[in-house]
Structure 1
Amino acid sequence: MIVRRLTPDILGTEREVEAENGNWVSRRLVLADDGVGFSFHDTIIRAGTETYIHYANHIEGVYCVSGNGEIHDIANDTTHKISDGMMYLLNNHDRHYLRGGTEDMRLICVFNPPLTGKEVHDENGHYPLLLPGID
């Protein structure tokens, strides 16, 4: 059994990763080296920000537990409001903009394949596919 808490296990450690531009912070609770086939993240999207994302190598499921914002699906030119209780699944490696609203948004995210914890978005909005111990 794995048991972790934001404090003291995640916050202020290498498992708390902040975007270089300050748009978001990801607290990575479960990672690839935990060996369970997915990773699990508690992510804060800062109010008033916009991030282009295209997970070409991962599927991501997202559930909003607080705050507000929106996701813009580029291929379909549609925008969906995000608020507490809303879920979205990027099952087609969807290119999108994630926008923070009037307050910070707290999202619970699952990635498959799992992240190692060292990923950062590249210039194309991708996370590279890293393998545990080979990065």
Structure 2
Amino acid sequence: MIVRHLDVIRDSNRNVVTDDWESARMLLKDEGMGFSFHITTLYAGKELRMHYKNHLESVYVLQGEGTIEDLATGEIHDLRPGMLYALNEHDRHVVRPKTDIITACVFNPPVTGREVHDETGAYPLPEKELAESQ
């Protein structure tokens, strides 16, 4: 059984902070759950262009408001507490937080812990998985 508290994760190296967001990585690949679980804060006033070409992601909004734009269709959806979006087709998207948005996120395959977005807006696969996928 794995039992953790968010405050402990935030004070550890499992908390990744960038200029645009902060992600507390509650569960990671090494825990063997088949997914990773994060509590992520997207900072107000930012424009986050992302494309998880190596991962599927599901995001549940706990707090805050903003929008998400599907870059394939141009559709813009409001984000507010209780909303979920799932990037089930590796969707290119832009999140625009009006206020800080706190989310619960699940990634498959799971991340290893220190990933940040690369120039394409994706989390890169670990070297071993990258070699296996080619």
Q: TM-score range by the shorter chain?
A: over 0.9
Structure 2 SS opposite 1:33: helix
Q: What is the total number of aligned residue pairs between the two structures?
A: 129
For 1:6 and 1:74, how far apart are their aligned partners in 2?
A: 32
**Displacement of 1:12:** 2.2
Query: What amino acid maps onto 1:112 in structure 2?
Result: N
For 1:113 and 1:65, how far apart are their aligned partners in 2?
A: 23
For 1:62 and 1:131, how far apart are their aligned partners in 2?
A: 26
1:63 aligns with 2:49: no
TM-score (norm 1): 0.92
Partner of 1:13: 12
For 1:88 and 1:80, how far apart are their aligned partners in 2?
A: 9
Aligned pairs for 1:1-135 (under 5 A) are 1-8=1-8, 10-19=9-18, 22-101=19-98, 103-130=99-126
For 1:43 and 1:30, how far apart are their aligned partners in 2?
A: 13
**Displacement of 1:6:** 1.3
**Displacement of 1:99:** 1.0
Query: What amino acid maps onto 1:39 in structure 2?
Result: S
**Displacement of 1:91:** 0.2
Task: Give the ranges of 4+ consecutive aligned residues of structure 1 lying more than 2 Å apart after TM superposition.
Answer: none
TM-score (norm 2): 0.92
For 1:93 and 1:7, how far apart are their aligned partners in 2?
A: 31
| RMSD after superposition | 1.4
Structure 1 SS opposite 2:7: helix
Gaps in structure 1 of 5+ consecutive residues:
none
